[in-house]
């Protein structure tokens, strides 16, 4: 075994259950490279929404560690994904971002590919040049209820179809596949991607989110017995709202049961339809809808939120009036891109049905607050005096994330 | 032995006495990491002055390589130092700089520590959670005549108490412990921390310091026999001023004898009370005091300067009217923070007794001149064509610093 | 053999002829360091023109990887080159750029060297100090027809004198040795130095150079049989211009034959006098001369261009009215400096005989276009999904460059 590999296995073996991970997981280039290999080139990653590439030729380019992937709607309306690298001398094909193309033309020597990735033209080649050998390299891609995932592995995880099948009924009533993008925001956080994910798995820090806590119950992650004294009043409100919501979900036939399989499977996930506080409709100061036109054909905005968490790199809040998606992309051991996208009904009119500022305000503020906390955590775990400490009971999902993560490393490192 | 370690030992063994160090000592990340371990986690480091944390709850946070340390006045008025890392998930507690706190509260999940470091409150923990296991980790701290030192080692160097006892009588008459901070300046130099220290150990380069040379005798580092022709006139002035100063020191009972033990001990140091040129009182264009109110109860400003050099990271000029302290903190192989602090009598009034611009002018200019020289030295030693050259006799203190430094590396690397 | 070395040899052995190089050659720090050692400290490098240092004391300082070299005209009018490092404590002597000196004085401790590199003065040394031991370290330097080359090796490549002797007759009629610098431009490209050189060896990408293609025949690199249909008209024009030019060259006794020895020798090179389109005189929109005063004593501006390519780091276009030189200097695996210099007759008057904007316009635009292509190539080859692809026939000189480059690595790495 390589010495580097045994050092990594030792670290994994040393982990104390219930405690945070050692510093090097978050700061060391070797661990970062391992994360790219063991997690980001193996798993299905959430990178876009169908609504970003609605028409043939529409494309979106996303950076995944050292990789760059083009997500494209082909001429037949199907989703395609390709490595963003010309087959000639390797030049990058498309810049990062979104656009629309007829063919994919390399800017260097004009090698030209169809939307199916086939090489259509390479200038000035000899007669025996075989274009069929030089199609763009494909990347696995699929949409789950309007959410676009890619997988860089040759063989994607075997359990993803099952996960997708269990998630889709929750998403279906919101019809995200035909939604439209109302707003987008990229935020570079000064912390490791795992700190960004861990931060999202607990509300133990929610004191720092005054805008979010207008509607998001701070009792998230507590059981009835463990709710602390200062949250008991909120918990009472939650129980009443929860009872009402369950009745609504039953009446409308909306799936709502909690599924929580964060560490038991390759594609760890959690899904739950849950109540919100105040008007219970949306993430706004008084909880009323931020968009008048509701998603799909939903008959009422008072639906709380469908919370979906999908490892390794995403979470979602899908409401009656809008949806907001979060994609986490590692840039460096201490730099992570958080990409947030807000979706509304395709016919919702900006300025009439919704105001983008109101729509995005809570999560923009919450993201920035989280970014400050993540930066503070990154600074601390980079200090050699840091030693892993114990998670509180309400942080059990962070523990589950770490357990899942280490299982992935073990799989990668096994002889 | 690890291969890296043997490479380092080879370099140490290769050193030619009387010659500058090889380039990698100043440029190589491995040597930088070794310096942090062998020097900055072993030695007592000058990081603050008592005057920065006069009242209970006052705190100052300082970065030492990858470490961050909180220096704090506790509720009983004692000095404390802690690692700036929460015992929960490791978040940084305090930002760099100075402030005042009641308790130390982690911004992430509100774990709350007293000024004694004890964990007072951790929200929502189970009944068996033992707060006593999670006090902030302590760092050794002590004040020597108003100068605050910390030591990251479990066992600090055994000789420091003796060094402190020999230094304190020199410092005592200036009463720095109850002085006040008149000004501060942080300067990031583009050079290795050793180049900053070496530059300070010789006046061979003093031509480049016109403001300083108004009062600082350029004959520093020369013996009577070795004074070059162009400095003989200055040397005559020095001898006259020196004779007068010795009489003054004797009359006032001020310790003044030179102690120079730069490489003979773990805590290398040098102390000397010495004459200044012109009015002989302070670092000003005509040598007169920059602060009307004198330090302590000193009866006259005409006292020259008490020059203290303390390895690995500090030097000081303590005068009748003010004191100026210098703390050197490594940031990267080629980046070093020089932190300069000016102290005056606690009752000296800005604008009446002293003008901050006049007080700080000479050393601000001198620091900037030195920074340019250090940057030039760093650029040169990074060139593979550089080979160590011979120190001039007047650079004997630089040689002593290198000897001391290599002894520390040998101790660290010995099998 | 060191493990690192065997990894490099494996990569060299793995190379498929006719295909681009693997990604790590362009992105990996180990390969970059190997390039500095195997190429840039072994070969003659084009770094300046005689016209930059015409008078005694004139000097130009150039960075070559971690090295810094002073090119200097000495008191006797000879060319000298020295490592830009003081022999005392290694401080950098001169900043990058051009200047004029009487002596070379180190800014740190005033060690003073003559223009012959001898140490003339070192202050305050003991009587037995031997100045003769501390002359500046020399670097090989020579001018070839007014183009200045340095070599960092102890023993420069044995074949350079022969190459120089074959090149000089082509250059001689243009009398660059007494030309003057009309303009200079430094451009930092976001790509490996080899991508910059490779980009220059083919016109397969020339569609992206509209300004250059006014006069530069896009058929460069094609044989009569391989000219693509869209370039046939241009090729007809080229054949006519070529025939006329050959007659002119014969009449004027100007050497013009193609010599192409890109990979057959240590100092790979290519030289050819060739026609330009339209007026055929210069790189201008209509092909007419950009400088009224011609180089040397040339009787006509209608001379096309003398194209010289000299590995590892330079190319040149020498015309009737001006010359333009290109020097490629590696800064990092993904950063390269391209230094462009325009030369005109020493008595040509700016504003009368030439307008600097017109003179520099085409190559400034072309350089910027190339920089964008090189950056795109660098981004692509850094993607793990990149795999080497086949060169088109018209890219045969890129293939030759790679072959030459790998031969240099093999020489360096052989046991």
Q: Is residue C37 in a domain? A: no
% residues pLDDT > 90 (chain C): 97
Which of these, C338, C353, C365, lies nearest to C184 by C-alpha position?
A: C338
Q: List B180's β-bridge partners, or say none.
A: B344
CB contact under 8 A, B85 and A380: yes
Q: What is the pLDDT of residue A49?
A: 98
Q: Is C88 on the interface with B (CB under 8 A)?
A: yes
B224: confidence class by pLDDT, cuts 50, 70, 90: confident
Q: Tell whether B208 lies on the interface with C, counting CB pairs under 8 A.
A: yes
- Minimum distance, in Å, between the CA of residue A257 and any CA atom of chain B: 26
A381–chain B Cβ distance below 8 A for any pair: yes
Residue of A nearest to C207 (CA): A109
Look at the block and give the residue holding tokens 């986490």.
A328
Locate A207 and state its tokens. Answer: 């004191």
Determine if the peptide bond prior to A312 is cis (ω within 30°): yes
Domain identity same for B102 and B168: no
With beta carbons under 8 A apart, name residues in chain B contacting A207: 110
Share of chain C above pLDDT 70, in %: 99
Note whether A138 and A181 are same-domain residues.
no
Q: Does B4 touch chain C (CB under 8 A)?
A: no
CA proximity to A258, closest of A280, A248, A273, A240:
A273
Each of the 415 residues of chain A gets a pLDDT tens digit; together they read 566 788 899 999 999 999 999 999 999 999 999 999 999 999 999 999 999 999 999 999 999 999 999 999 999 999 999 999 999 999 999 999 999 999 999 999 999 999 999 999 999 999 999 999 999 999 999 999 999 999 999 999 999 999 999 999 999 999 999 999 999 999 999 999 999 999 999 999 999 999 999 999 999 999 888 899 999 999 999 999 999 999 999 999 999 999 999 999 999 999 999 999 999 999 999 999 999 999 999 999 999 999 999 999 999 999 999 999 999 999 999 999 999 999 999 999 999 999 999 999 999 999 999 999 999 999 999 999 999 999 999 999 999 999 999 999 999 998 7
The minimal CB distance from C20 to the residues A89, A124, A129 is found for A89
Indicate if C166 and C286 belong to the same structural domain: yes
Q: Are residues B140 and B164 in the same domain?
A: no
What is the reported pLDDT for A225? 87
> Is B385 in CB contact (< 8 Å) with chain C?
yes
How many of the other CB atoms lie within 10 Å of CB of B162? 11
Among residues of chain B, what percentage have pLDDT more than 90? 97
Has residue B30 been placed in a domain?
Answer: no
In a domain, B191, yes or no: yes
- Chain B interface, mutation test: which of C64, C68, C113, C124, most B Cβ atoms within 10 Å? C124
Domain that holds residue C142: 44-156
Model confidence at B219, pLDDT cuts 50, 70, 90, reads very high
Instruction: Name the nearest CA neighbour of C106 among C65, C96, C97, C95.
Output: C95
Does any domain span residue A201? yes
Q: How many CB atoms lie within 10 A of CB B367?
A: 17
Interface test with B, best of C64, C90, C112 (most B CBs within 10 A): C90
| Subunits with 3+ C-beta pairs closer than 8 A to B | A, C
Chain C CB contacts of B20 below 8 Å = 88-90
Q: Using CA atoms, how far apart are residues A84 and A164, in angstroms rounded to an integer?
A: 26
The total number of structural domains in chain A stands at: 2
Q: DSSP letters along A258-271, please?
A: -EEESSSSSS-EEE
- Split at pLDDT 50, 70, 90, the class of B3 is low
Which residue bears the tokens 């009215």?
Answer: C321
Under DSSP, the state recorded for C290 is: S
Q: Is C176 in the same domain as C52?
A: no
Q: Which of residues 125-164 of C touch B (CB under 8 A)?
A: 125-126, 129, 134, 137
Residue A140 C-alpha, separation from nearest chain C C-alpha, in angstroms: 14
CATH number of the domain within which B120 lies: 2.102.10.10
| Closest CB from B373, B388, B394 relative to C124 | B394
Dihedral pair phi/psi, residue A92, rounded to 5°: -60, 135
Q: Which two tokens stand for residue A230?
A: 């200062």
Interface test with B, best of A386, A398, A401 (most B CBs within 10 A): A386
Q: Is B121 on the interface with A (CB under 8 A)?
A: no
Q: What is the mean pLDDT of chain C?
A: 97
Q: Are B285 and B361 in contact (CB under 8 A)?
A: no
CB neighbourhood size of C16 (10 A): 11
Residue B135 lies in a domain: yes
Beta-bridge partner residues of C149: C46, C142
Is residue C122 in some structural domain?
A: yes
> Do both A284 and A404 map to the same domain?
yes
Q: Which chain B residues are closer than 8 Å to C119 by Cβ?
A: none
| B155: number of Cβ within 10 Å | 8
> Is residue C1's pLDDT more than 80?
no
Question: Looking at CA atoms only, how far is residue A229 from chain B in angstroms?
Answer: 9
Question: C394, C24 in Cβ contact below 8 A?
Answer: no
C20 touches A: beta carbon within 8 Å: yes
Query: Tokens representing C365?
Result: 């635009």
**φ, ψ dihedrals at B166, nearest 5°:** -80, -30
Do residues B275 and B399 share a domain?
A: yes
Residues in CB range of A351: below 8 A, 6 or more apart: none
* Closest chain C residue by Cα to residue A139: C385
Closest CB from A376, A383, A389 relative to B107:
A376
Same domain, B261 and B133: no
Q: Where are the alpha helices (DSSP H) in B182-284?
A: 193-200, 232-252
- Closest-CA residue of C relative to B231 is C124
Out of A361-375, B152-166, B212-226, B364-378, which region has the weakest mean confidence (pLDDT)?
A: B212-226
Asked, as a colleague might, if the bond just before B312 is cis with ω within 30 of 0, I would say yes
- The CB density around residue B208, as the number of other CB atoms within 10 Å, is 16
Q: Which residue of C has its CA nearest to A68?
A: C383
Note whether B229 contacts C: Cβ–Cβ < 8 A: no
Mutation to test the C interface, candidates B21, B225, B377, B380, most C Cβ within 10 Å: B380
Task: Say whether B91 and A226 touch across the interface (CB within 8 A).
Answer: no
Cβ neighbours of B186 (radius 10 Å): 12
Cα–Cα distance measured from residue A264 to residue A110, given in angstroms and rounded to the nearest whole number: 48
Is B383 within 8 Å of C122 when comparing Cβ atoms? no
- Residue ranges of B 341-380 with Cβ closer than 8 A to chain C: 373, 376-377, 379-380
Pick from C66, C89, C134: CB nearest B383: C66
Chain C residues with CB inside 8 Å of B386's CB? 83, 85, 90
Q: How many CB atoms lie within 10 A of CB A346?
A: 15
Distance from CA of B17 to the nearest CA of C (A): 14
Whether residue B23 is contained in a domain is answered as no
- Which class for A162: exposed (0-12), middle (13-18), buried (19 or more C-beta within 10 A)? exposed
Q: Chain B residue with minimal CA distance to C134?
A: B389
What is the mean pLDDT of the segment spanning B387-412? 97
**Same-domain status, A268 and A395:** yes
A108 and C384: CB-CB below 8 Å? no
Which of C106, C140, C156 finishes a domain? C156
Is A234 at the interface with chain B, CB within 8 A? Answer: no
- Cα separation, A14 vs A11, in Å, equals 5
CA separation for the pair B211, B203 (Å, rounded): 14
Gyration radius of chain C's alpha carbons: 22
Residue C388: its chain A contacts at CB < 8 A?
Answer: 90
**By CA distance, what is C96's nearest residue in B?**
B379
What integer is the mean pLDDT of C284-313? Answer: 98
Q: How confident is the model at residue C182 (pLDDT cuts 50, 70, 90)?
A: very high
Q: Which residue of C90, C126, C137 is in closest CB contact with B377?
A: C90
Q: Could you please report the per-residue DSSP string of A118-151?
A: -EEE-TT--TT--GGGGPPPB-EEEEETTEEEEE
Return d(Cα B8, Cα B366) in angstroms, integer: 34
- Answer whether B161's CB lies under 8 Å from B101's CB: no
Question: CA A127 → CA A87, C203, C226, distances in Å?
Answer: 18, 20, 11
Contact C222, C231 (CB under 8 A): yes
Domain boundary among A129, A156, A183: A156
The answer to whether residues C236 and C194 belong to one domain is yes
pLDDT of residue B17: 96
The verdict on residue C224 lying in a domain is yes
The tokens 């090149």 sit on which residue?
Answer: C167
Contact C73, C55 (CB under 8 A): yes
Q: Is A393 left (phi over 0), alpha (psi -120 to 50) or beta?
A: alpha
- C84–B389 C-beta distance less than 8 A: no
3-state secondary structure C189-219: ECCCHHHHHHHHCCCCCHHHCCCHHHCCCCC
* Comparison of pLDDT for B59 and B415, the residue scoring more: B59
Place of tokens 């009359």: B251
**C203-230 average pLDDT score:** 94
Neighbour count for residue C258 (Cβ, 10 Å): 10
CATH number at residue A172: 3.90.380.10
Per DSSP, what are the bridge partners of residue C350?
C354
Task: Answer with the residue of higher pLDDT: B375 or B226.
Answer: B375
Alpha carbon distance B218, A119 (integer Å):
75
A370, A345: one domain:
yes
Contact C385/B at CB under 8 A: no
Q: Are residues C238 and C339 in the same domain?
A: yes
Which of these three, C156, C188, C211, is where a domain ends?
C156
**What mean pLDDT comes out for the span C381-407?**
98
Q: Which chains touch A (3 or more CB pairs under 8 A)?
A: B, C
How many other C-beta atoms are found inside a 10 Å radius of the C-beta of residue B158?
10
Query: Contact at 8 Å (CB) between A42 and A79?
Result: no
In the three-class reduction of DSSP (H, G, I as helix; E, B as strand; rest coil), residue C61 is classed as: strand
- Looking at the complex, does the CB of residue B340 fall below 8 Å from at least one CB of chain C? no
For residues C179 and C321, the answer to whether their CB atoms sit within 8 Å is: no
CA–CA dist B341, B323 (Å, integer): 8
**What whole-number distance in Å separates Cα of residue B401 and Cα of residue B309?**
11
* Angle between helix B356-381 and helix B193-200 axes, rounded to 10 deg: 120
Report d(CA C193, CA C337) in Å as an integer.
8
**Left if phi > 0, otherwise alpha if psi is -120 to 50, otherwise beta: which for C3?**
alpha
Q: C124 vs B222: CB contact, 8 Å cut-off?
A: yes
Q: What is the mean pLDDT of residues C195-201?
A: 98
CB contact under 8 A, A85 and C386: yes
With contacts defined as CB-CB under 8 Å, which chain A residues touch B126? 393
Is A302 within 8 Å of A315 (Cβ atoms)? no
């Amino acid at each position: 075994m390589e010495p580097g590999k045994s050092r990594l296995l030792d670290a994994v073996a040393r982990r104390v259950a219930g405690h945070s991970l050692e510093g090097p997981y978050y700061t060391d280039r070797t661990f970062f490279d391992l994360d790219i290999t063991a997690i980001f080139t193996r798993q299905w990653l959430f990178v876009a929404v169908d609504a970003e590439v609605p028409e043939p030729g529409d494309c979106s380019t996303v950076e995944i560690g050292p990789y760059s992937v083009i997500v494209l709607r082909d001429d037949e309306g199907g989703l395609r994904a390709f490595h963003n690298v010309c087959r000639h001398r390797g030049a990058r094909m498309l810049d990062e971002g979104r656009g629309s193309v007829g063919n994919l033309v390399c800017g260097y020597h004009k090698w030209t590919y169809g939307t199916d990735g086939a090489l259509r033209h390479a200038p000035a080649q000899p007669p025996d040049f075989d274009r069929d050998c030089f199609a763009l390299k494909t990347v696995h891609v699929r949409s789950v209820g309007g959410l676009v995932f890619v997988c860089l592995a040759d063989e994607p995880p075997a359990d993803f179809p099952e996960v997708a099948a269990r998630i889709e009924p929750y998403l279906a009533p919101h019809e995200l596949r035909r939604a439209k993008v109302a707003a987008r925001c990229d935020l570079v956080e000064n912390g490791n991607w795992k700190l960004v994910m861990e931060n999202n798995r607990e509300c133990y820090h929610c004191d720092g989110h005054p805008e979010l806590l207008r509607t998001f119950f701070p009792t998230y992650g507590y059981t009835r017995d463990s709710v602390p004294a200062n949250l008991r009043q909120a918990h009472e409100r939650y129980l009443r709202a929860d009872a009402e919501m369950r009745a609504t979900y039953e009446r409308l036939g909306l799936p709502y049961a909690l599924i929580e399989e964060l560490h038991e499977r390759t594609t760890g996930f959690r899904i739950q339809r849950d109540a919100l506080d105040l008007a219970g409709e949306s993430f706004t100061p008084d909880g009323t809808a931020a968009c008048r036109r509701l998603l799909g054909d939903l008959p009422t905005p008072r639906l709380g939120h469908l919370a979906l968490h999908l490892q390794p790199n995403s979470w979602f809040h899908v409401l009656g009036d809008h949806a907001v998606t979060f994609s986490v992309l590692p840039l460096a051991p201490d730099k992570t891109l958080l990409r947030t996208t807000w979706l509304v009904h395709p016919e919702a009119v900006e300025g009439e049905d919704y105001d983008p500022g109101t729509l995005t305000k809570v999560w923009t503020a919450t993201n920035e607050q989280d970014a400050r906390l993540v930066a503070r955590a990154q600074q601390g775990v980079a200090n050699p005096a840091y030693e892993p400490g114990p998670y509180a009971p309400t942080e059990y999902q962070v523990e589950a994330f770490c357990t899942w993560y280490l299982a992935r490393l073990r799989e990668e490192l096994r002889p």
